[in-house]
Each structure stands twice: as C-alpha cells, then as structure tokens.
Amino acid sequence: MELILVNIIDGLVTGLLLFMLSAGLTLIFSMMGVLNFAHASFYMLGAYFAYEISTYLGFWMGLLVAPLLVGVVGAGVERYGLRRVHQYGHVPELIFTFGLALLIEELVKFIWGNDQVPYQIPEILEGAAFTISSYNIPAYKVFMIFLSLIIFGGLLYVLTKTRVGMIIQAALSYPRTVEALGHNVPLVFMGVFGVGTALAGVAGVIAGPVLSTFPGMAFVLGSIVFVTIVIGGLGSLGGALCAALIIGWLTTFAKAYNVRMEDILTGIGFEKPEPLWDSAWSDLWTLTSPQIADILPYLLMVLILVFRPYGLFGKRDV
Amino acid sequence: MKKFVKLSAAAMLSMALGATAVAAENIKIAFIDPLSGPFASTGINGLHQYQFAAEAMVNEKGGVLDGQNFEIVPFDNKISPKESLIQLQVAIDQGIRYIAQGNSSGVANALTDAIDKHNRRNPDSRVLFLNYAAVDPALTNDKCNFWHFRFDANADIKMDALTDVIAADQDIKKVYIIGQDYSFGKAVAAAAVKFLGEKRSDIEIVGNELHPIGKVKDFTPYSRKIVASGADAIITGNWGADMLGLGKSVIENGFDGPIFTYYAAGSGMTAAFGDSAKGRVRLISQGEINPIGSEEARQIYNAFKAKYPDGNIDQSRIFNVIGMLAKAIEQAGTADDVVAVAKQLEGMEYDSMWGGKLFMRPQDHQLIQNMHVGVHTDENIEFDYDNSGFGILTESTVEMASMDSATTCKMRRPE
C-alpha cells in the first residue's frame, strides 16, 4: 500500500519534469506553428550552463541564471535563424531545428567533453525529506514538485490573466489585426520562443543532477517530449500537463511492478503453449511490464492518433 | 638568397619524402567501438588508452620487427552489431589485420561470427579479433574460434571472484540481481545465481531482472523495488550511463547495502558517485591501480595523465593487449601472417606491468589473470578517477582466477 503512494510521488516527479519540457514546446507550436526538434537540446544546455555556473557560484545562482541564458540563446535563435527560415515554409524550419539539435550536441561535446559532468544537488536538499514506511522521499524531489507547480501556476496566470497574455493569445489567432493595433508581433514571437526554451532550460537545471548531465541527455528525452504533446493535443497547455502526468505514472507503475504477460494471457483465457521455448509466441509469453514500460507511451500515442487525432485536449489535427 | 631558400626547401621536401618511403609500413589495429551516442564516453576513453599504449609501449621503443609502428584506426560502430559489420568490412578492405572491440557482447558475438566466416573464405586477408572487454562467456565457450582472443576475464570468472567476497560477508542474506537486457546482462545474472547457490545456499535471491539497455531515463522505480525487496546487497553488470543512473538512484532512494559491480568506475562515473558511494560500490577488475602494480605502471600512468589530464586508465587490460600483441608479432617474425601471430598468442605467458602473470589459455583463448575486488573510496588513493579524489582501492585478490574452469570450446585450427 505504501509502495503505491511512493510510486505515485515518483511518477508525479517524472511527469512534472516532462511537463516543463513539453510546456515550452507546445507553447511554441501553438504560437508559431514550428515543431522545434532542438527543444530537448535547450534542456541539455540548461543543465550544462547550470553546472558551469554552479562550480563558481553554487547551485542556486545556476538555477536563477542558467534558464535566463538559455532563454536568451533561444530568442537569438528565433531572431537570427528561424525568422529568416520562416518565409520558406515549414519543412525548412523543421530541417533548421533538426540541424540545430545536432549542432548543439556537438558543441556540448566540444566544450564539456563526452563524459558525465559531476553536477550535484545542493547540500541543503541532500537526504530524505520524509519517509513513508521504509521508503525515502528525497528532499530534492519535493523541491522539484514545488518548483514545477509554481511554474505551471505562473504560466497559466500570465497567459490568461495579464495583458501580455492577452496579446499573446490574440497574436495566436489574428496576428494581422494585432499588428494593425500597433503591437510588435515578431517581438511577441521572439519572446514566446525565448520563454519556451527557458522553460526547457529550467527542466534541464533541475533534472541534470538526478538524471545525470551528459551529451546524450537530449537524445534520451527528445522523442518522449513529442509523444507528450501529441497525446495532450498540440498547442494545449492543460493537455501537456495531463499527458505528462499520464506518461509519468504509466512508466513508473509498469516498472515498479512485475506484471507478467503470462498472467494476463492466462487470465483472459489463453492456454500456455508447452513447451514454451518451442512456441512461436514464446517472446510474447515471457514479457514483463518493466521490459515494455518505455514503449508504453508510444503505444498510447498510436492509440490516441487512431481514435482522437487532435489529442486529449487539442483543437486541431496533428 | 631567394634561390637558396627554394633550394633548401626542395631538399628538405625530398628528404621528408624519402624518410616516409624508407620507414616501414605501420601495423594497423582497427578500433571498432561507440564513438558517438550515449556510450561514446566509454568508447573514446578506450580509444585514448589504445593510442597511448601503442605510443608508449611500442612506437617510442622503436616499434616491432624492423621498426614497424602500431597505429590505432578508429571506427564508430554506434554500438550497433549491424554497423559494426559494415565497419569491419571497411577495415578489412583497408588492409587492416587486427580488430579490437570491447563494448557490448552483442557486437562481439556478431563480429566473431563474421570474422570466422571471412577468414575461412579469404585465407589471403585473414584478421584477428582482439576482444578487450566483451565478457559474454559464450565467446570462449560454444561460440569460440581460433581468431578470437579475450583479454578480459569473462562474466563467469568475474562473478566467481565477486561471489567469494559476498559469500564471506555473513551479513548478506538477501541479494538483488539487476542488469541490462542483452546477452551480457543475462550471463551475469545466470552466473550470479549459479555461484551464490554453490557457495552460500542460504542467501536468498529476492530479485532478478533485466532493464532495456541505454534507454532508462530514471531508475527510481527500480530502486523502489530493490528497497521494497529488503535486499542486503545488489549485484549488477551495468556499465556506462546505465551504471551511473542505477547507482545514484538506489543510493538516493535509501538503499544502504553494498553494490557489487563490474564497471562502476571512470568515464565521469567516479566523480558523479563521489562521497555518496564511498565504501558502498565494489568493483571486480583486473590490474592493480591502487596500490599500483609496478614502478613502470606508475610512470605510464603519470605520462598518460600528462597527455590526457581529464582521462583515466580504467581499462588497464588495453595495455596488456598491446604488450602481448607486440610480443607475439616479435616472436612470429611477421605481422602479416596472422595465423603465426595467433599461434604465438596461444599459451603465451606475459608479465603485466599492472601486477601478476597473464596466461592465454590455448584451449579457448581466454586470458587467465589475477582478479581484484576493489572499493570506491578516497583513502589511500594514488591514482584517482575523473580527478575527483576518489578511486578504486584493491581489497582482495584472487590469483589466476578460474585457471582450471571448464570450457565447452572445441576449437578448429587452420592447418
């Protein structure tokens, strides 16, 4: 029973981290129609910037400064790269961001090397915050949960309650009218891209110490972020949160319990083939849930695309 | 004056050209391992150690035979067996006769089959397979062939030595086995179950599972299961990012027993473990680093650090590969006839600078050597890893481990 609660907390951490990554991506997509392949690379940049800053000024300065730096880099990419490519249509944009992802990975390798860098959690957050029976809940995880929730709340507030948010939403649907009213729409786009990448940067800063900071970290998370926003519905912030949490809990529970395919199959009335090793289905019968945990989100995505192509909360087709 | 400059330049040029023409052709060794992707750091560190070993042990000492140098030619296999076979073909087409590979037994299994076939069909361009780290026992048992030489101890030998330490610790009553889902991970798990059953039948194996290799982002759910199982110790064959992720995660989530590993050192891992894993992570390996095996090894290590300040010698067996290959080529009197070289390698006895004697067992081409179990600590460490102050301190040694172990190898030798 306690284990379920612990797994719920662990899944929540994974989900919220994924949300912070996908929030930026879905925001950028809904605003500019750009699928940013380099998004996970900004997440990696966040981790590396924070590591570099933390060696001089400590973790907290890293948390404060690194996302800003990433945001500035992101805004620069939009201003001097994407904006020029934009006029040629969506395919060149895709290719541009794809190339950018490769470039950033090579740059990171060039500057910080191929090894993991020793980016550590701050001392004050080391150790357990509390224990549920014999399971430690690390203080750092609690910190991650709170930080993500604060960011989600702030984002929601800015987008729905403030003047800036209204302009952004208006620019989303009627860019020409907004421009005619005297607002600088390209500036809005640049801002959104900057904030979106900065969000990815925050995710990198707080994930770096626990998921380890190495040049492959963008690659490992790159595809799952896209799965998240497709399941949630392209352009929907609430959908991204929902999908991220579903994925977090789905993978956590699948890994934490050894559900065997054998039990499921016999449960629904199939007979176990004897001898098993001779059967064409032996691979299927010997599967366990931890083995397939990481492909479950992709399975879910396929199902969503078949039955609800615009995602859980999306308003438009993928 | 101008004319003189031109003339002397021309003279120097012709001298340089002449020099390259006179110098004997290099003996090339193809290094086929991951140089990009999630396991790139492991591969690139290995490459540096090969390049350094070839320079320091052969080239700077005047080369082998009549002054031929060793040259390491890197090929990136992205840790894919398919890609490795392509790279193998490229290497063979370039006239390379020695193939070094180590990361992933899946790759090694594919390579050893391909090389066996190639050598049977093309007696004129045969190659030798110098396996320095792929430890799936099958490679020197059912799948053995004359062309494959393994310089690392196989998973069974390592587990035999590791379980000696576990069996001696009466506090360990429950063990959790976790590994990567491929031939090597399965071999480790099978060996652990077998040896624990023989040595300490009272130890309960409370978990035995495999996870996808290189794909797990967060090991927390696995750590929860391990803690929930009440295990006193963990055994894992994980390497690279999978080892770091697992190790950090179980320690963070409240596991407080020892972690017995094959590869939990170097490549940034030691630094990342830092203080949290002190006295907890134990590691089975060959070669003595702390305390160092010999004065020669100390000099080599210091020279390596001078060249690669961020590097580690975490695979000292690479130096054994180069040393034994050079010796075999000298004794055979040729580098082109790999059958002659292989016959010299078979049964070779070699004194390693990392301490102890090495013996290449002729019946299965498995190197027999001293095995050491060390602990991750910052005390009495002369050579740390990752410049972290932490390193591996040898705690116990098994001399000539598994010298008489059985093998199912039935080797076919060329006439």
Instruction: Judge whether B367 and B151 are in contact, CB under 8 Å.
Output: yes
Q: Which of A129-143, A262-276, B87-101 has the lowest mean pLDDT?
A: A262-276
A270: DSSP letter = P
The length of chain A in residues reads 318
In this predicted model, what pLDDT tens digit does every residue of A83-106 receive, in sequence order? 899 888 888 999 999 999 999 999
Identify which of A117, A131, A138 has the shortest CB distance to residue B268: A117
Indicate whether A309 belongs to any domain. Answer: no
Q: Quick one: which H or E segment has residue B221?
A: helix B220-228
Rounded Cα–Cα distance for residues B58 and A79 (Å) = 54
| Min Cα–Cα distance to chain A from B216, Å | 8
Instruction: Provide the number of structural domains found in chain A.
Output: 1
So what's the pLDDT on residue B22? 42
Identify which of A109, A128, A255 has the shortest CB distance to residue B221: A255
Map out the domains of chain B with their CATH numbers.
27-154+294-368 (3.40.50.2300), 156-290+371-398 (3.40.50.2300)
Instruction: Judge whether B199 and B191 are in contact, CB under 8 Å.
Output: no
Two structure tokens written together for B372? 């050491």
Mean local confidence (pLDDT), A169-181: 81
So what's the pLDDT on residue B2? 53
Rounded Cα–Cα distance for residues A93 and A99 (Å) = 10
The three-state (H, E, C) secondary structure of A192-258, written as one string? HHHHHHHHHHHHHHHHHHHHCECCCHHHHHHHHHHHHHHHHCCCCHHHHHHHHHHHHHHHHHHHHCC
Chain A residues contacting B via beta carbons under 8 Å: 3, 6-7, 10, 13-14, 109, 113-118, 120, 128, 131, 134-136, 138, 140, 210-212, 214-216, 219-221, 224, 251-253, 255-256, 258, 288, 290-291, 293-294
In this predicted model, what pLDDT tens digit does every residue of A267-313 receive, in sequence order? 888 877 777 777 777 778 878 888 888 889 999 999 999 998 888 88
Residue of A nearest to B226 (CA): A256
Q: Quick one: which H or E segment has residue B252?
A: helix B241-252
> If you average pLDDT over every residue of chain A, what do you get?
87
Identify which of B212, B222, B388 has the shortest CB distance to residue A294: B212
Instruction: Judge whether B282 and B260 are in contact, CB under 8 Å.
Output: yes
Residue B382 has pLDDT above 50, yes or no: yes
Cα–Cα distance list, B168 to A165, A283, B199, B261 (Å): 66, 38, 9, 17
Q: Does B241 touch chain A (CB under 8 A)?
A: yes
Indicate whether A191 belongs to any domain. Answer: yes
So what's the pLDDT on residue B340? 94
Identify which of A136, A212, A291 has the shortest CB distance to residue B248: A212
CB contact under 8 A, A211 and B386: no
A174: DSSP letter = -
Residue with the bigger pLDDT between B21 and B283: it is B283
Helices (H), A78-184: 83-86, 90-112, 139-161, 163-173, 175-180
Q: How confident is the model at residue B12 (pLDDT cuts 50, 70, 90)?
A: low
What φ, ψ does residue B37 adopt, rounded to 5°?
90, -170
Rounded Cα–Cα distance for residues B128 and B75 (Å) = 16
So what's the pLDDT on residue B27? 94
Task: Burial-class residue A275 by CB neighbours within 10 Å (0-12, 13-18, 19+).
Answer: exposed
Mean local confidence (pLDDT), B36-56: 88
So what's the pLDDT on residue A268? 84
* Residues of A whose CB is below 8 A from B220: 10, 13-14, 252
CB contact under 8 A, B253 and A136: yes
| Min Cα–Cα distance to chain B from A95, Å | 20
> If you average pLDDT over every residue of chain B, what do you get?
89
In this predicted model, what pLDDT tens digit does every residue of B314-348 receive, in sequence order? 899 999 999 999 999 999 999 999 999 999 999 99
Cα–Cα distance list, A148 to A194, A198, A202, B90 (Å): 18, 13, 9, 50
Q: Is residue B289 helix, strand or coil?
A: coil
Residues 64-123 of chain B whose Cβ lies under 8 A from any Cβ of chain A: none
Q: How confident is the model at residue A266 (pLDDT cuts 50, 70, 90)?
A: confident
Indicate whether A113 belongs to any domain. Answer: yes
So what's the pLDDT on residue A302? 94
Instruction: Judge whether B394 and B374 are in contact, CB under 8 Å.
Output: yes
ipTM of predicted assembly, 2 dp: 0.77
Rounded Cα–Cα distance for residues A45 and A63 (Å) = 13
Q: How confident is the model at residue A162 (pLDDT cuts 50, 70, 90)?
A: very high
Cα–Cα distance list, B266 to A27, A180, A255, B24 (Å): 40, 60, 28, 36
Rounded Cα–Cα distance for residues A114 and B317 (Å) = 22
Residue with the bigger pLDDT between B378 and B268: it is B378
Q: Quick one: which H or E segment has residue B129?
A: strand B128-131
Mean local confidence (pLDDT), B71-97: 94
Cα–Cα distance list, B400 to A289, B262, B314, B404 (Å): 41, 18, 20, 9
Instruction: Judge whether B102 and B33 are in contact, CB under 8 Å.
Output: yes
CB contact under 8 A, B248 and A290: no
CB contact under 8 A, B209 and A220: no
| Min Cα–Cα distance to chain A from B266, Å | 9
CB contact under 8 A, B40 and A215: yes
Instruction: Judge whether A289 and B212 are in contact, CB under 8 Å.
Output: no
CATH code, domain carrying A213: 1.10.3470
Rounded Cα–Cα distance for residues A217 and B38 (Å) = 8
Measured on CA atoms in the order A40, A43, A47, A49, is the torsion positive or negative? positive
Rounded Cα–Cα distance for residues B298 and B74 (Å) = 27
Mean local confidence (pLDDT), B290-307: 92
Provide the greatest CA pair distance for chain B.
90
In this predicted model, what pLDDT tens digit does every residue of A208-264 receive, in sequence order? 988 888 888 888 888 899 999 989 988 788 889 999 999 999 999 988 888 888 888
The 10 Å CB-count burial string (b at 16+, else e) for B223-239 is bbbbbbeebbbbbbbbb
Residue B297 has pLDDT above 50, yes or no: yes
List A296's β-bridge partners, or say none.
Answer: none
What φ, ψ does residue B21 adopt, rounded to 5°?
-70, -35
Rounded Cα–Cα distance for residues B258 and B278 (Å) = 10
So what's the pLDDT on residue B21? 41
Q: Does B264 touch chain A (CB under 8 A)?
A: no
Q: Is residue B205 helix, strand or coil?
A: strand
Instruction: Judge whether A243 and A231 are in contact, CB under 8 Å.
Output: yes
Q: How confident is the model at residue B19 (pLDDT cuts 50, 70, 90)?
A: very low
* Residues of B whose CB is below 8 A from A220: 38, 215, 217
Q: Quick one: which H or E segment has residue B282?
A: strand B281-285
Q: Quick one: which H or E segment has residue A13?
A: helix A2-32
Indicate whether A273 belongs to any domain. Answer: no
So what's the pLDDT on residue A74? 95
* Residues of A whose CB is below 8 A from B248: 210, 212
In this predicted model, what pLDDT tens digit does every residue of B129-185 receive, in sequence order? 999 999 999 999 999 999 999 999 998 999 999 998 899 889 999 999 999 988 889
Indicate whether A64 belongs to any domain. Answer: yes
Provide the greatest CA pair distance for chain A.
76
Mean local confidence (pLDDT), B66-82: 93
* Residues of B whose CB is below 8 A from A296: none
So what's the pLDDT on residue B9? 53
In this predicted model, what pLDDT tens digit does every residue of A61-72 receive, in sequence order? 999 999 999 999
So what's the pLDDT on residue B20? 45
- The parent domain of residue A56 ranges over 2-256
